[in-house]
Amino acid sequence: MKNMLDTRIYAALFFSLFFPIGEISGTTFPQAEDVKWHSFDFKTLLTWGPKPTNYSYTVEFSVVSKNRQRNPHCIRTMNTECDLTNLLTELKETYSAVVQSEALPGETSDQIEPPFTRSERFCPYKDTKIGKPDFKIVVSKDKRNITLYIQDPISAINKDGRFFNMRDIFTNDLKYRVSYGRAQSTGKRTEDTEGNTIQLDVDQGKSYCFNVRAYIPTRAHGNQFGDLSQTKCSPAGDVPFYKEYGIGAVVGIILLVLFLIAAAVALVVCYRRRSRTRNQGKDDCL
């Protein structure tokens, strides 16, 4: 009996060494797929798939060639995205990330190194997409020029309770490209401005429509422009009628007015004749 008990104890010790409690032996977790960066106005997410079932994901990231870090909210998570906005503090650095497939929280695995998938490299300063700017239109008193006052898009970067705008981050690298043309015309012109205001010469009193977008010429060619703003149009100014509609329209209106005056005079004359001859039994207008 004692020998049998000893055998059971040794067997239990053997299995406890090689197969700890809660360990998943011989399990291979699938690697993450389609690991991508998504960054808009410096709000930066790492996404991947598929949705896990009996395993979890852990995200590690770092400046290229430096030590990896972890987001506490993205350790052994069942989610398939990780918000790294507040951790990518060096905006001009280039980052890399890996998504590891691991056991569920509270469980272990006998895999020496968990399966992982590495992301492409990402630089917030060069790669984040920039949203639509807003702007205000001011028409000069003489209606001969229009000034646009452009408002910088706000970023997701927060410091001391204040969100930075794009001018705070890009400084002199940030420009704006303005596209404009006369209302109801397909012709377009473009002008660039290094600041947040631009004055444009226009045809006196005409209505013009405008679009604005951020322009960063120091970026790679396909990533230089931000999203196009909403279209805004200036009101038509008060200009002389003949300039707005042309001489032909003016002549036509004058002739129409003369015709109406002549018709009115004829009616008055006719009415008076009828009134004068009614008592005589005659109607000169019949």
Residue 249: predicted pLDDT: 65
Asked if residues 59 and 70 have their Cβ atoms less than 8 Å apart, the reply is: yes
Pair (150, 118) in one structural domain? no
The last residue of one of the domains, among 127, 148, 168, is 127
Pair (96, 31) in one structural domain? yes
Residue 89: predicted pLDDT: 94
Question: Which position has the token pair 């949203």?
Answer: 131
> Residue 20 — pLDDT band, cuts 50, 70, 90?
very low
Instruction: State the chain's mean pLDDT as an integer.
Output: 85
The runs of H, that is alpha helices, within the chain are 2-18, 124-127, 166-170, 241-245, 247-277
d(CA 114, CA 106): 16
**pTM assigned to the model:** 0.71
pLDDT tens for 93-140 read 999 999 999 999 888 777 778 899 999 999 999 999 999 999 999 999
Residue 50: predicted pLDDT: 96
Residue 228 maps to a domain = yes
Domains held by the chain: number: 3
Q: What's CA 204's distance to the chain center, in Å?
A: 33
Residue 246: predicted pLDDT: 57
d(CA 38, CA 45): 5
**HSE value, Cβ hemisphere, 13 Å, CA-based, for 194:** 3
- CATH number of domain containing 194: 2.60.40.10
Q: Which domain, by its residues, includes 257?
A: 243-280
Pair (83, 157) in one structural domain? no
Q: Is the predicted pLDDT of residue 259 greater than 60, yes or no?
A: yes
Number of helical H runs and strand E runs in the chain:
5, 18
d(CA 134, CA 154): 11
The β-bridge partners of 201 are: 145
Residue 240: predicted pLDDT: 52
Name the percent of the chain in helix, strand, coil, to the closest 5.
25, 35, 40
